[in-house]
Amino acid sequence: MTGEESGVRSAWRHNSLTIVFGLLLLLFVAGQAVSGLAGYNESARTAGLQEISLLTYLTSSSFAVDLLENWQSEYLQFVLYILLTVWLVQRGSSESKQPGQEGRESEEQQLLGRFARPDSPRLAQVGGWRRSVYSHSLVLVMGTVFVLSWLAQAVTGRVADNEERMRDLLDPVGLGEYVIGPDFWSRTLQNWQSEMLAIGSMAVFAIYLRERGSPESKPVGTPHHVTTSSD
């Protein structure tokens, strides 16, 4: 086996989850683009307007707003889940900490400062603001992605909405007017409620249901009331 083949096998072995999800993302975005273009052109034919190409659709506000409204809700879901599971628990769920372990945990539990391991991240070993920022870096980054994608949804949604309004011979609306209007909040809330349903039901299902070998599930023989292996 050559070094290149060995490197590829090693990359797959160590990063297969990320690779597969990345490929699925591309596949689903491609499917969304094709089906979205078909729907857009069908509406254009019905209205007696010119059809557009796939490239034009991919750079349109109609495609962008459909994409971004899903992205922002996914990142909101994870931001809320990461933060709420610091303080809130669900007894028996593999998605929760054990009751009684709520909170930020001690520096020893978090391997910070003098409790850090030799191979711990450098920012976990230092003190001051750098460690403080790193201690919340996951939420900071994911929260930033949520805010940016939500703002981008507002901008692209307004453009798409104004295109429809122009077809109906209505005056366009400004960004502020669009953000407080029904189209923006209908797009936003229909995604938010689905995310809350999915993550809430997952926390409950994980109490009673199992998937052998998955880190998202308790071992098959674990009693329902047990939250973690340390119970």
Please provide the DSSP assignment of 80-117 as one string.
HHHHHHHH---TT-TTSPPTT--SS--TTTTT-GGG--
Domain shared by 96 and 150, yes or no: yes
Inside any domain, residue 27 = yes
Write the CB contacts of 159 (distance below 8 Å, at least 6 apart in sequence). Answer: 61, 65
Shared domain check, 197 and 163 = yes
The pLDDT tens digits for 54-104 are: 999 999 999 999 999 999 999 999 999 999 999 999 999 988 888 888 999
Residues 70, 9 share a domain = no
172-204 pLDDT, tens digit per residue, is 999 999 999 999 999 899 999 999 999 999 999
Residues 6, 75: one domain?
no
- State which residues form the domain around 28: 1-59
Is 98 in the same domain as 2?
A: no
Tokens for 173?
């609306």
Tell me the CA distances in angstroms from 208 to 5, 17, 72, 100, one per residue in order: 43, 25, 30, 21
User: 160 and 70, same structural domain?
Assistant: yes
Band (1; pLDDT cuts 50, 70, 90): low
Q: What is the mean pLDDT of residues 29-45?
A: 93
Instruction: Give the model's pLDDT for residue 179.
Output: 94
How many domains does the chain divide into?
A: 2
Q: What is the pLDDT of residue 2?
A: 64
pTM: 0.87
2 and 28 share one domain: yes
Q: What percent of the chain has pLDDT over 90?
A: 68
Summarize the confidence of residues 209-225 as an average pLDDT.
90
Mark whether 177 and 219 lie in a shared domain: yes
Give mean pLDDT, residues 136-152: 96
214 and 184: one domain? Answer: yes
- Residues 92 and 179 reside in one and the same domain: yes
